[in-house]
């Protein structure tokens, strides 16, 4: 590869939850690095707007309405990926939802299921349905977006923490199972990042401004993260620069879990 050639030229990447926040930033970064992008989201117009923008700036991208909790949607998006771009090399299982700051003694089973369904079932289904396409290419890279809350707990976030902890070990199991297939599987663990998801979680608190200050103070670097800072890690794990990394947990948290 020449110095000037983008790192992901010729690669095809599918990013779930690509209409907003970390997914959007990751899609932009992967596209800037030369990958063709399949943008998945339940927010179809948001994903379509991003696809148009990437295409207008010389990238390759399509947007598909896709609910990560639905096996049929996964079958369809993988088929469309192969049909449009010839295969799949990179899967970013990013779509996720926050809990609603409900204590365990008041947490409904239905609420528990809704968080687990998107954040954990969605990642399982991504692996399950994208796996054969990655294998067909002779290998690839899967990046599962977990969280610092997949490593440490938080009161009022039991379902979210359980889902993200699940993503870590699901990733490691997949990494071991697929190492012989040259499919690398890693998880990323962002601290609190300025995105609509965090805004929504803060709005569920009585004192949103006070809670925000507490969150900032919990990050030794003295601020929340930016989506682009997580996207940089996603793009690195997607590339051959991370060729000896699989089953690892990449923490990007301004020092939150160092304490
Ligand atoms: N923002 C943070 O502080 C933070 C920290 C750690 C981990 N994360 C994780 O990063 C990921 C992205 O979060 P974000 O902050 O960018 O959130 P966001 O709300 O900005 O974006 C999430 C996107 O996922 C989409 N989505 C939701 N449910 C979906 C479904 N069933 N199928 C397909 N798409 C769906 C939404 O429409 C949205 O576009 C999530 O997995 C989240 O748990 C976020």
66 CB within 6 A, ligand 1: yes
Write down the pLDDT at residue 4. 61
Q: Is 238 inside any structural domain?
A: yes
256 is catalytic: no
pTM over 0.75: yes
Q: 78 burial class (0-12, 13-18, 19+ CB within 10 angstroms)?
A: buried
* 208 located within any domain: no
Q: List Cβ neighbours of 60 (8 Å cut-off, separation of 6 or more).
A: 31, 36, 37, 54, 85
Q: How many domains does the chain have?
A: 1
pLDDT at 92: 99
Query: pLDDT value at position 236?
Result: 98
Q: What is the CATH number of the domain that holds 78?
A: 3.40.50.720
The response to whether residue 99 sits with its C-beta less than 6 Å from ligand 1 reads no
Which domain covers residue 141, as residue numbers? Answer: 12-195+226-251
- Tell me, what's the pLDDT at 25? 98
Catalytic residue among 85, 129, 160, 236: 160
From the number of C-beta atoms within 10 Å of its C-beta (0-12, 13-18, 19+), residue 104 rates as exposed
The angle at the Cα of 141, spanning 34 to 164, to the nearest 5 degrees, equals 115
For position 205, what pLDDT does the model report? 80
* Cβ–ligand 1 contact at 20 (below 6 Å): yes
Q: Is residue 143 included in any domain, yes or no?
A: yes
Blockwise average pLDDT, block size 10, the chain, 259 residues: 74 98 98 98 98 98 98 98 98 95 94 98 99 98 98 96 98 98 98 92 86 95 98 98 98 98
In a domain, 212, yes or no: no
């Amino acid at each position: 590869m020449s110095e000037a050639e983008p790192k992901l030229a010729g690669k095809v990447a599918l990013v779930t939850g690509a209409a907003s926040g970390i997914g959007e930033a990751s899609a932009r970064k992967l596209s800037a690095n030369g990958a063709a992008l399949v943008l998945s989201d339940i927010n179809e117009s948001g994903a379509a707007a991003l696809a148009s923008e990437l295409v207008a700036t010389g990238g390759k991208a399509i947007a598909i309405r896709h609910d990560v909790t639905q096996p049929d949607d996964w079958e369809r998006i993988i088929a469309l990926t192969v049909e449009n771009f010839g295969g799949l090399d990179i899967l970013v299982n990013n779509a996720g939802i926050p809990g609603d700051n409900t204590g365990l003694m008041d947490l409904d089973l239905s609420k528990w299921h809704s968080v687990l369904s998107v954040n954990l079932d969605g990642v399982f289904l991504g692996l399950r349905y994208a796996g054969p396409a990655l294998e067909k290419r002779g290998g690839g890279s899967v990046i599962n977006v977990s969280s610092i809350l997949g490593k440490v707990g938080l009161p009022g976030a039991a379902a979210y923490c359980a889902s993200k902890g699940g993503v870590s070990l699901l990733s490691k199991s997949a990494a071991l199972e697929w190492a012989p297939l040259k499919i690398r599987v890693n998880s990323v663990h962002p601290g609190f990042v300025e995105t609509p998801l965090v805004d929504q979680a803060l709005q569920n608190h009585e004192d949103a401004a006070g809670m925000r200050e507490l969150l900032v103070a919990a990050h030794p670097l003295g601020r929340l993260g930016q989506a682009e800072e997580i996207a940089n890690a996603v793009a690195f794990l997607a590339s051959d620069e991370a060729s000896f990394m699989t089953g690892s947990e990449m923490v990007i948290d301004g020092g939150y879990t160092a304490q």
